[in-house]
Amino acid sequence: MAQDTYENKFEPLYEYLLKEKRADFILTFDEIEEILDFGLPRAAHRAEWWDDDTPEHPRVQAQAIHQAGYDSRRLPEGGKVRFRKLTTLPRR
């Protein structure tokens, strides 16, 4: 699959991250919802929702973020997510 044809409902965030030049930045939930054009689920308030992508608990949002070359962590105060550029891109 070509990098520019990644498909899941979080594709708008994937596309946004592909174009991002900053290596480390923070987006609010509101900003992420604006990018996605839909509201985040209640589960997004749990820290593990952002980066837990295991065979037992596949997460399309984490896959989209990782495939775009970023890691994500919800900040302790909630309502914000920190994105950091991965040093190596994940394999597809």
- Domains in the chain: boundaries: 3-85
Looking at residues 3-27, what average pLDDT do you find?
A: 87
What's the helix, strand, coil split of the chain in %, to 5?
40, 15, 45
Label residue 49 by pLDDT band (50, 70, 90).
Answer: confident
89 pLDDT exceeds 90?
A: no
> Is there a contact between 10 and 61 (Cβ–Cβ < 8 Å)?
yes
CA distance 47 to 49: 5
| More reliable by pLDDT, 88 or 1 | 88
